[in-house]
Every structure is written in structure tokens, then in C-alpha cells.
């Protein structure tokens, strides 16, 4: 006979007792107590997101990432210091010998699994004598970088609160469009990224490798132009993309 007993949150004491009455040997009692342990995994990519963006950068093909384990281990009601615990990290089922041992509460790696559609990162955490063990696995799946356009106003600055999609009405004599390449493995200086602008399919070499282009009206007659941008990481060849926007004059 078996029963299922829900455990409380990590560190909370759960106790059960069983009493069996038999004809031959009378009453038998047994009590069992435990404090469940848990570990949480959080990850961070080296991808880029613009200032004040409330989300985090997603993983891209070839990007680096860091996974941090946050264990909740208790003895006698006291939480154990994470640096005193033993960590064994696996990537796609293979132990990384360079990232295991006491206090190794973080794992650094890169996105390398193109067939599986993501990398499985597993950690086993235990105390020094192995009496408390907890494991956790997460899958980090890569996505595609995204280019988003914003207006860079001389009066209000970059208007991050309003992404430009589809079309933009050029009312003033000129406008500065800023491109933000979300999730690409770069820093704020855009080092290591090639940017190629075009207008109606023609390259604009004067703005090459710049993340901002300035557009001016070309007379009083209205019209429409398509501004395009192609980005490509110089070393991470699978990180790239294109985007365009129609400018209506």
C-alpha cells in the first residue's frame, strides 16, 4: 500500500506517521520527516537590447549564455550557503569537467546545438555529504535577431516607447531613424556588426555600419520610398537579418 503526500515549500518540515495494528504482533508505528530542497535556474544571453528595455535579450544562434543556479537547501531550519554546495553541470547530457565542484553555482556556454533546436542545461546540486540532492534542467532555445526602427528626435531623443512598423509619414524636413538589432551578440558600440542601408534597393554607403540614417524631403511632390537595413555579425555567421520601412512624403 502506498500514499502520496504533498511536500511543502523548500525548507519547510513535513512529517507523516503510520500506525499498523496486527493480530499477531500488535501495533507498529513509524514516523518520517523531511525538508524538501529545490533549485531554480536563471539564464542570461550576451545579446543586445536597447537602453531601458524591460525584457531581457533572447538567445540567438552562436550566442553565449550564462546559467545561474539558486539552490534552497536547509538543515535544522537554516538555509545553507550556496557557495558551500557541490554543483555538477551537464550540457545536452554531457558533464562539463571545467564547471563542477564546490561553489560552482553558474555555468557559461554557447549555443551550439543546431539540430536539437536548443541546448539542455542540467545541474545537480548536493551538500558536502550527499544527503541532500536536487536537480533541475532548462532548455535554452535560439531565436532570430530582430531589427526594430525608432525615431531619433532632436527634441525628445530616441522614442523607444513607439516602435515604427510598416510606414512612417515624413512631416518634418528630415528625420533620423535609429535601428536597434535585438538579441545580436554585441555591446552598445555595435562592434563586430555590419550594417548596410538601402533606399529603394540602392545601397547608401555614407551610412554603412551606422545604426542611424538621416532622411530628408526631396521636394514638394509627395512620394514613397522604402528604406531597408541588412545586418550581419562578423564572426557569428548565423546572426543576421533584414528589415524595411516605407517612408511617405
Domain boundary assignment for the chain? 38-140, 146-248
Q: Is there a contact between 65 and 59 (Cβ–Cβ < 8 Å)? A: yes
Superfamily assignment of 146-248 in CATH? Immunoglobulins (2.60.40.10)
Q: What share of the chain is helix, strand, coil (3-state, %, to 5)?
A: 0, 55, 45
The yes or no reply on domain 38-140 and CATH 3.40.50.11540 is: no
pLDDT at 227 (0 to 100): 96
pLDDT at 24 (0 to 100): 78
Q: What is the mean pLDDT of each run of 10 residues along the chain (249 residues)?
A: 65 68 80 75 94 89 93 88 96 92 94 74 93 92 91 92 91 92 86 93 94 85 88 91 93
pLDDT at 106 (0 to 100): 96
Q: What is the pTM of this model?
A: 0.78
E-strand spans in 73-164? 74-75, 78-79, 86-91, 94-102, 106-110, 119-126, 133-140, 146-153, 157-158
Strand partners, 221: none
Amino acid at each position: 500500500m502506498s500514499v502520496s503526500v504533498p511536500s511543502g515549500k523548500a525548507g519547510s518540515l513535513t512529517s507523516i506517521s503510520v500506525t499498523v495494528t496486527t493480530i499477531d504482533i500488535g501495533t507498529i508505528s513509524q514516523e518520517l520527516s523531511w525538508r524538501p530542497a529545490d533549485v531554480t535556474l536563471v539564464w542570461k544571453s550576451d545579446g543586445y537590447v536597447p537602453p531601458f528595455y524591460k525584457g531581457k535579450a533572447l538567445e540567438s544562434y552562436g550566442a553565449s549564455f550564462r546559467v545561474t543556479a539558486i539552490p534552497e537547501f536547509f538543515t535544522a531550519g537554516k538555509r545553507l550557503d550556496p557557495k558551500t554546495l557541490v554543483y555538477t553541470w551537464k550540457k545536452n547530457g554531457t558533464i562539463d569537467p571545467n564547471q563542477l565542484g564546490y561553489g560552482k553555482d553558474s555555468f557559461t556556454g554557447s549555443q551550439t546545438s543546431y539540430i536539437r533546436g536548443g541546448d539542455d542545461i542540467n545541474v545537480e546540486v548536493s551538500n558536502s555529504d550527499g544527503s541532500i540532492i536536487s536537480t533541475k534542467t532548462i532548455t535554452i532555445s535560439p531565436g532570430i535577431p530582430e531589427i526594430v526602427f525608432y525615431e531619433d528626435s532632436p527634441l525628445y531623443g530616441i522614442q523607444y516607447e513607439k516602435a515604427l512598423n510598416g510606414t512612417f509619414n515624413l512631416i518634418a524636413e528630415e528625420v533620423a531613424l535609429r535601428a536597434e538589432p535585438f538579441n545580436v551578440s554585441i555591446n552598445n558600440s555595435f562592434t563586430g556588426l555590419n550594417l548596410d542601408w538601402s533606399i529603394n534597393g540602392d545601397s547608401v554607403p555614407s551610412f554603412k555600419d551606422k545604426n542611424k540614417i538621416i532622411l530628408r524631403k526631396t521636394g514638394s511632390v509627395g512620394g514613397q520610398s522604402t528604406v531597408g537595413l541588412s545586418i550581419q555579425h562578423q564572426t557569428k555567421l548565423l546572426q543576421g537579418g533584414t528589415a524595411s520601412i516605407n517612408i511617405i512624403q
